[in-house]
């Protein structure tokens, strides 16, 4: 089909889900001036999500940490207490409250309390250096900043402006727990569904992190669209009724893998309220496949969501078969392309699990396309078909929609697309056109309704599910007095997907070595951005227009590394 806009349509046979008054009744309404498909009977904001689903799930466990377990009721009561304290500290609707922390209970409740107040969460990347943290604070200008111990140390090294009020996150700890006789009510500030809710920082080609501003509408729409797929499956392929006397169905459960400053962390947090899920949080520290397997067995976890690197490490763990993973019935994730080899290994190791992976980004709360079920068997090298309630187009450099099968830039539209980049109108205008199509910067093609990725942001490196933009590392290395030229590329890695390689041309007389290059980068940038490989060359390859031939470098270095 030439010039096709690929639009999700309700599947035949599931009409009962979309009937008037039904949970998934669909209508068309203006969203920021553009007509979009939305759920007619949706909740109005994130605070309503908290209250509506707390009333439904009540005393079921919601958040399970090593040191504390909070039910849905506990989460709402704790949120009200923390929000009241925030108000005493001067937080009002529209203020930013920044968090720099590992995934701990006080962070989660602080997140809910900020949003219930109508304020905006500024999600500072917990892996950032002092300089990067300073940039995030200067951009979002928070009224309050909360940090755990390690991040607090970096914040103090950053040289924050005098008017930034910083608190230790542990100050929230005493406000957590079950309802109390003197509890306050939740805040009552009016919150519109298109009010800003969360700032997720995402790097860009300018080399400095931008803050993608997600709205309350985005966070309400996404879990509704995500649960729709399960509802359709239940209608089209219903399970047999349980036998008399059979035990009640288990509460849905999953392990919280993503950090709360990442889309993979906030999505499970909000979706758990819609599904009544129990979220099990590992101990603070680096992710461990052993801990993941232990928690799965201990809590009979039903869902695994991770990036490809983590799945490789889990499934190839030498003791995998010693753990009971029979409870895992749903497996999925995103963050990078899942190779057909990985999908086959997932099916082999977890034969009882339903597999599903997706393509999306922070700016769409992870929405875009979805691959699962029969489609995964038929098109395993793709990223699936257009996701529920989304629209997809493939465009050329002139913004024209290309013919079916041609490669172009992937564009996404729908009620889940972000508001824009915080305090960056120029970047927002480049990313969003006047009809609110989001230009992803990723390149792909759609053949027979199935989306295939050709490249992600052209030069972007995806290391263990984290986006690494070469220009940011190149700019840092160009500041070194002994570096004449540099090009940063991604090279293949079995588990991480890619690693960072820096090709460096030194100035005459330089004695800089690989360790010196890594140390220089690590002083300003997060650890995952530090080059794993440093290759010194006499010159870089350029084309006739003076552009570095990065694909040539990638091929050469990958071949050299493969050859040992």
**Confidence bin at 379 (pLDDT 50/70/90):** confident
* Mean per-residue pLDDT over the chain, rounded: 92
Strand intervals (E) in 203-313: 210-215, 253-255, 278-280, 303-305
Answer whether residue 335 shows pLDDT above 70: no
Q: Is the predicted pLDDT of residue 265 greater than 70, yes or no?
A: yes
Q: In the chain, how long is the greatest CA-to-CA distance?
A: 83
Q: In what order do the strands lie in the sheet with 144-147?
A: 165-168, 144-147, 96-100, 120-123, 196-202, 210-215, 420-421
Q: What is the CA radius of gyration of the chain?
A: 24
Rounded Cα–Cα distance for residues 282 and 216 (Å): 28
Give the CB-side neighbour count of residue 51, counting CA atoms within 13 A.
Answer: 12
Tell me the pairing of strands 26-31 and 385-386: unpaired
Residues 94, 99: Cα–Cα separation, whole Å = 16
**Looking at the predicted structure, is the pLDDT value of residue 327 above 50?**
yes
> Rounded CA gap, 112 and 110, in Å?
6
Predicted local confidence at residue 544, as pLDDT: 56
Task: Name the least confident of 164-173, 297-306, 433-442, 554-563.
Answer: 554-563
How confident is the model at residue 40, as a pLDDT?
96
Q: What is the structure's pLDDT at 478? A: 86
Average pLDDT for residues 84-110, to the nearest whole number? Answer: 98
- Partners of residue 173 on adjacent β-strands: none
Q: How far is C-alpha 298 from the geometric centre of its chain's CA atoms?
A: 26
Q: Which of 27-31, 122-126, 160-164, 540-544 has the lowest mean pLDDT?
A: 540-544
Residue 74 has pLDDT above 60, yes or no: yes
* pLDDT at residue 517 is higher than 80: yes
Instruction: Report the pLDDT averaged over residues 1-27.
Output: 87
* 539-559 pLDDT, tens digit each: 999 765 566 888 889 989 999
Question: Which residues, in sequence order, are CB contacts of 134 under 8 Å at separation 6+?
Answer: 158, 159, 160
- Report the pLDDT value the prediction gives residue 342, as an integer from 0 to 100: 85
Q: Which domains does the chain have, with CATH numbers?
A: 6-35+253-264+280-455 (3.40.50.12780), 46-213 (3.40.50.980), 462-562 (3.30.300.30)
State whether residue 254 is helix, strand or coil.
strand
Q: What is the mean pLDDT of residues 63-90?
A: 98
What are 39's strand-pairing partners? 26
Q: For 162-195, give one letter per residue: b (16+ CB within 10 A) or e.
A: eebebeebeebeebbeeeeeeeeebbebebebeb
**Band (231; pLDDT cuts 50, 70, 90):** confident
Residue, of 371 and 300, whose pLDDT is higher: 300
pLDDT at residue number 417: 98
In the 8-state DSSP scheme, what is residue 270?
H
Structure confidence at residue 205 (pLDDT): 47
Q: Which residues contact 384 (CB under 8 A, 6 or more apart)?
A: 357, 358, 359, 369, 370, 371, 372, 375, 376, 450, 451
- For the cut 70, the answer to whether the pLDDT of residue 376 exceeds it is yes
Half-sphere exposure of 415 (CA within 13 A, CB side): 29
Mean pLDDT (whole number) for 167-182: 97
pLDDT of 112: 98
Tens of pLDDT, residue by residue over 385-432, are 999 999 999 999 899 999 999 989 999 999 999 999 999 999 999 999
**What span, in angstroms and rounded, lies between the C-alpha atoms of 134 and 543?**
38
Asked whether the beta carbons of 27 and 38 are under 8 A apart, the reply is yes
Convert the pLDDT of each residue in 125-137 to its tens digit: 999 999 999 999 9
Share of the chain above pLDDT 70, in %: 95
Q: Name which of 345, 401, 343, 403 is nearest 373 in CA terms.
A: 343
- Residue 3: band (very low, low, confident or very high) from pLDDT cuts 50, 70, 90: confident
pLDDT value, residue 549: 85
Q: Is 276 exposed, middle or buried (0-12, 13-18, 19+ CB in 10 A)?
A: middle
Average pLDDT over residues 189-214: 88
Q: Tell me what pLDDT residue 230 has.
A: 79
Supply the pLDDT for residue 246. Answer: 63
SS3 content of the chain, % helix, strand, coil (to 5): 35, 25, 40
């Amino acid at each position: 089909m030439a010039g096709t806009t690929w639009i999700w349509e309700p599947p035949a046979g599931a009409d009962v889900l979309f009937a008037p008054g039904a949970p998934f009744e669909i209508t068309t309404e203006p969203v920021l001036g553009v007509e979009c498909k939305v759920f007619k009977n949706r909740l109005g904001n994130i605070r309503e999500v908290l209250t509506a689903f707390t009333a439904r799930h009540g005393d079921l466990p919601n958040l399970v940490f090593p040191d504390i377990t909070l039910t849905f009721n506990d989460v709402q009561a704790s949120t009200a207490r923390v929000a009241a304290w925030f108000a005493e500290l001067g937080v009002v609707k529209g203020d930013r409250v920044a968090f720099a922390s590992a995934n701990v209970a006080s962070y989660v409740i602080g997140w809910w309390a900020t949003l219930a107040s109508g304020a905006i969460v500024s999600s500072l990347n917990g892996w950032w250096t002092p300089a990067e943290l300073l940039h995030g604070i200067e951009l979002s200008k928070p009224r309050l900043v909360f940090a755990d111990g390690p991040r607090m140390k970096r914040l103090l090294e950053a040289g924050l402006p005098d008017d930034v009020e910083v608190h230790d996150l542990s100050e929230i700890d005493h406000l957590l727990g079950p309802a109390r006789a003197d509890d306050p009510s939740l805040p009552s500030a009016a919150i519109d569904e298109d009010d800003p809710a969360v700032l997720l920082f995402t790097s860009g080609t300018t080399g400095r992190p931008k803050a993608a501003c997600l709205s309350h509408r985005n966070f309400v729409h996404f879990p509704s669209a995500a649960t729709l797929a399960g509802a359709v499956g239940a209608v089209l392929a219903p399970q047999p009724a349980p036998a008399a006397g059979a035990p009640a169905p288990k509460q849905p459960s999953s392990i919280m893998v993503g950090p709360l400053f990442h889309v993979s962390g906030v999505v499970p947090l909000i979706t758990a309220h819609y599904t009544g899920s129990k979220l099990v949080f590992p101990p603070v520290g680096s992710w461990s496949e052993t801990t993941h397997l232990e928690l799965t067995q201990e809590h009979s976890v039903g869902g695994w969501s991770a990036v490809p690197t983590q799945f490789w490490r889990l499934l190839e763990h030498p003791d995998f078969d010693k753990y009971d993973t029979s409870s895992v019935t749903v497996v999925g994730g995103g963050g990078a392309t899942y190779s057909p080899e990985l999908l086959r290994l997932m099916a082999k190791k977890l034969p009882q699990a339903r597999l599903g992976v997706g393509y999306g980004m922070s700016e769409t709360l992870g929405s875009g396309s979805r691959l699962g079920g029969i489609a995964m068997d038929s098109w395993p090298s793709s990223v699936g078909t257009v996701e529920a309630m989304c629209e997809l187009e493939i465009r050329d450099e002139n913004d024209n929609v290309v013919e079916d099968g041609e490669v172009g830039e992937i564009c996404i539209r729908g009620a889940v697309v972000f508001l824009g980049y915080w305090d960056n109108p120029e970047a927002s205008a480049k990313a969003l056109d006047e009809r609110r199509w989001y230009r992803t910067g990723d390149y792909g093609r759609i053949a027979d309704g199935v989306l295939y990725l050709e490249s992600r942001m052209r030069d972007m490196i995806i290391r263990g599910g984290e986006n690494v933009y070469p220009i940011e590392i190149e700019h840092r290395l160009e500041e070194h007095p002994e570096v004449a030229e540099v090009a940063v590329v991604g090279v293949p890695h079995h588990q991480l997907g890619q690693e960072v390689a820096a090709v460096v041309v030194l100035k005459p007389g330089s004695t800089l070595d690989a360790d010196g290059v890594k140390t220089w980068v690590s002083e300003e940038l997060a650890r995952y951005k530090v080059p794993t490989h440093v290759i010194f060359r006499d010159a870089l390859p350029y084309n006739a227009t003076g552009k570095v031939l990065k694909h040539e470098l990638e091929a050469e270095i990958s071949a050299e590394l493969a050859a040992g």
